[in-house]
């Protein structure tokens, strides 16, 4: 894991601060470790914190009244996120945050960061820009759910998750349930589409491994949209 000082310096928001200011908030940071599957915060919690991911992976979940889960956000090392109550008193979390891999985070309360946000315009501006990017990403995600077929979204997910490797098997580190949660569908739909992709020669499946055998075909399935 990178040192906190390095993470702060390279982060677009915290990088706006002076070295002495970063050293000050580094000393104030609360270090937390979570095992895979542990919850950082549940939906509807009042959680007035901002955090920086040091290592591992964290997913943001929405759950329906029927118990179905939808992953709306994935955070990895260097990413910054916050609870709604960090900005607005008594506001509840709109999503739950769960460790998808063993992870470590650095956490600050609103009381710790508010003086810097009020005093440093560039710091506040960069955080505002990050909030806007999250909104744009959320809008693009909702549009894909509404208008893009599951087949296209699954192909896109496979390319993002396993696209660095082609013609070689890699571990299947996402379960069918996790893929379904990413795409807002059911595991049976994911299973059926994966076998269809395999029958059409785009991928090859093993019980615990996966291989992209035809990237062009999988990309055509995805009908990739430009990143926000």
Same domain? For 18 and 127 the reply is: yes
Same domain? For 79 and 173 the reply is: no
Same domain? For 196 and 181 the reply is: yes
Last residue of a domain, one of 121, 146, 171: 146
Q: What pTM, to 2 d.p., does this model score?
A: 0.75
Q: Is the pLDDT of residue 227 over 60?
A: no
Could you say which DSSP state residue 187 is in? Answer: H
Q: Is residue 227 part of a domain?
A: no
Q: Is the pLDDT of residue 167 over 80?
A: no
The domain in which residue 22 lies consists of: 4-146
Q: CA-to-CA distance for 195 and 203, rounded, in angstroms?
A: 9
Which runs of consecutive H residues, i.e. helices, occur in 19-105? 19-28
Q: CA-to-CA distance for 12 and 116, rounded, in angstroms?
A: 15
Last residue of a domain, one of 146, 162, 177: 146
The pLDDT tens digits of the residues spanning 20-35 come to 999 999 999 999 999 9
Q: Is the pLDDT of residue 145 over 60?
A: yes
Q: Is residue 107 part of a domain?
A: yes
Same domain? For 19 and 88 the reply is: yes
For the chain, what is the domain count? 2
Same domain? For 138 and 199 the reply is: no
Q: Is the pLDDT of residue 226 over 60?
A: no
């Amino acid at each position: 894991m990178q040192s906190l000082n390095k993470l702060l310096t390279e982060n677009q928001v915290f990088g706006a601060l002076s070295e002495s200011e970063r050293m000050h908030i580094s000393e104030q940071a609360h270090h937390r470790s979570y095992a895979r599957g542990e919850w950082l915060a549940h939906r509807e919690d009042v959680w007035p914190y901002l955090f920086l991911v040091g290592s591992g992976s964290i997913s943001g979940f929405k759950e329906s009244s029927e118990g179905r889960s939808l992953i709306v956000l994935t955070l990895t090392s260097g990413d910054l996120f916050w609870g709604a109550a960090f900005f607005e008193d008594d506001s509840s979390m709109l999503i739950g945050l769960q460790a998808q891999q063993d992870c470590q985070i650095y956490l600050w309360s609103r009381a710790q960061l508010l003086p810097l946000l009020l005093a440093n315009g560039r710091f506040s501006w960069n955080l505002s820009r990050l909030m806007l990017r999250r909104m744009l990403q959320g809008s693009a995600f909702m549009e894909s759910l509404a208008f893009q077929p599951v087949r296209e979204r699954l192909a896109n997910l496979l390319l993002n998750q396993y696209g660095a490797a082609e013609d070689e098997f890699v571990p299947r580190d996402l379960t069918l349930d996790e893929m379904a949660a990413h795409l807002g569908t059911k595991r049976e739909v994911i299973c059926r589409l994966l076998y269809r992709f395999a029958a059409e020669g785009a991928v090859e499946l093993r019980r615990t491994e996966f291989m992209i055998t035809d990237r062009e075909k999988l990309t055509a399935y995805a009908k990739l949209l430009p990143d926000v």
